[in-house]
Amino acid sequence: MNLERMQNLFFKLLETDSPYGFEKNAAGIVCDFLDQYGIPWNDDGNAEAIGSNVGNIIVGGTGNARLSFCAHIDTIKIFDRKKPCLDGTILKAQGGGVLGIDDKSGVALLLELAASLKENGGIPDDIHFLFTVHEEAGFKGAWALDPRHFSSAYNFVVDSGGIPLVRVVNRAAGQISYTITVHGFMGHASTHGKKNAALFSAQLVPLLKAGKRSKDSFIHVGSIECPGNPNTVPDISIISGQILSFNKKEMEDILAEIKIVVEKFARDEDFAADFSVQYDCDPWMVPDDDPIINNARNAAIQAGLPFALGQSWSGSDAQVINQRGGKVIKISTGMMAPHSKEEYIDLDDMKKCADYLWRLAAY
């Protein structure tokens, strides 16, 4: 594998914005790279259904996959774009910040694997590469994938963090996204008696009791959006968040509890509130002795790398593939503290992951 090529591609991806829903520019880098090495690809044509400006980018034969490797092109919305910089082998944002290593590290690794396979005898028709879009907000790309890419395959979602490498995630929380739309009445700040949607939201959020609710469940408040002016009583405020849980029943119970809290508060304070829900994915677990994990463990032994199983609180394409009937595990790229201003990755860990993926592809 050409590790210098992988590093250069990784930097190019990191310097290109691709927040969920707007992945086209980064997808163009993916497709140009595949073209450069004569690797056939196709856009699955699901952009409109997914809610993005490009569809999932697929490399694979016309039949069913035996092995599939998946990474997502999109990132969270990066509000303060920074340049990537190297401190020895540690890659991070200049001055601290979010780069989008989740999951552009996975994309760079899989593109290098595809190019290396092409240069060493070709990519077998039954090994597929899935570059999904709109993962960070509902895993919509994974929900739109053709089942032939994962239903009969061992699926490796290269989208996790942590060390030591190899760290394989075989258990992860389910995820429900919720939106609470608070309705008030617009007016001037000096107008008495107007119902202030921002104030109602500020009073409502503490009642949701965000944070860890049990050993298996967590409530998250992600954003409060309220268009308005300092001298305006706003008529609308939108609260968005997620419920994460390893226990599906507990996740449903917490959802029902939140609905009751919102309805009671709206009734007591005499304002209107709409509550909407998106079921993103169910909890997921693969037994420790499953054949896919045995393969993953054996590949680590061949690579001379320590092997560790782990769990994750975050949802991902892996949960969707599992929920749709595919056998799947998540593999760490070595990224640390993703989605934070402290995120970083050691390029030496990426090189180890590259070697590990090569050995997985040999099965």
List every span in the chain annotated with CATH 3.30.70.360: 174-281
Q: Round to whole Å and give the CA distance between 115 and 107.
A: 12
**How much is the pLDDT for 168?**
96
Q: What is the mean pLDDT of residues 255-276?
A: 96
pLDDT, mean of residues 170-181: 97
Residue 351 pLDDT class (50, 70, 90 cuts) = very high
d(CA 47, CA 131): 13
Q: What is the CATH topology of the domain spanning 174-281? A: Alpha-Beta Plaits (3.30.70)
> What whole-number distance in Å separates Cα of residue 165 and Cα of residue 333?
8
Please enumerate in sequence order all residues whose Cβ is within 8 A of that of 177, keeping only pairs 6 or more positions apart, or say none: 137, 138, 240, 241, 242, 277, 278, 280
Q: What is the mean pLDDT of the segment spanning 220-235?
A: 92
Q: Does pLDDT of 81 surpass 90?
A: no
Mean pLDDT of 322-336: 97
Q: Which residues contact 260 (CB under 8 A, 6 or more apart)?
A: none
Q: Read off the DSSP letter of residue 314.
A: S
Q: Residue range 257-286: average pLDDT?
A: 96
Instruction: Tell the CATH superfamily of the 3-172+283-361 domain.
Output: Zn peptidases (3.40.630.10)
Specify the DSSP class assigned to residue 235. Answer: S
What's the confidence (pLDDT) of residue 228? 83
Strand residue runs (E) in 84-173: 84-87, 90-93, 127-132, 154-161, 167-172
Q: What is the mean pLDDT of residues 218-235?
A: 92
Do 158 and 321 form a contact (C-beta atoms < 8 A)?
no
Residue 192 pLDDT: 65
Rounded Cα gap, residues 184 and 180, in angstroms: 13
In which band, very low, low, confident or very high, does the pLDDT at 363 lie, cut at 50, 70 and 90? confident
User: What confidence score (pLDDT) does residue 80 get?
Assistant: 86
What pLDDT was estimated at residue 163? Answer: 85
Q: What is the DSSP string of 51-98?
A: TSSS--EEE--SS--SEEEEEE--B---SS---EEEETTEEEETTS--
Task: State residue 45's pLDDT score.
Answer: 97
Residue with tokens 């056939």, as numbered in its chain: 40
For residues 111-117, give the mean pLDDT. Answer: 98
**pLDDT confidence tier of residue 125, bands split at 50, 70 and 90:** very high
Q: What is the mean pLDDT of residues 236-262?
A: 97
pLDDT (mean) for 42-58: 98
- Confidence bin at 265 (pLDDT 50/70/90): very high
Residue 137 phi/psi, 5° resolution?
-135, 70
CATH 3.40.630.10 domain residues, the chain? 3-172+283-361
CA distances from 185 to 112, 128, 235, 268, 310 (A): 55, 53, 4, 17, 49
Partners of 181 in the β-ladder: 238, 274
* pLDDT, the chain, mean: 95
Task: Name the pairing type of β-strands 67-72 and 154-161.
Answer: parallel
**DSSP assignment letter at 209:** -
Q: Is the pLDDT of residue 321 over 90?
A: yes
Measured CA to CA in angstroms, residue 357 lies from 142, 193, 235, 284 at distances of 21, 63, 52, 22
The stretches of 270-312 forming alpha helices (DSSP H) are 291-303
DSSP secondary structure code for residue 176 in this structure: E
If one counts every other C-beta atom within 10 angstroms of the C-beta of residue 334, the result is 25
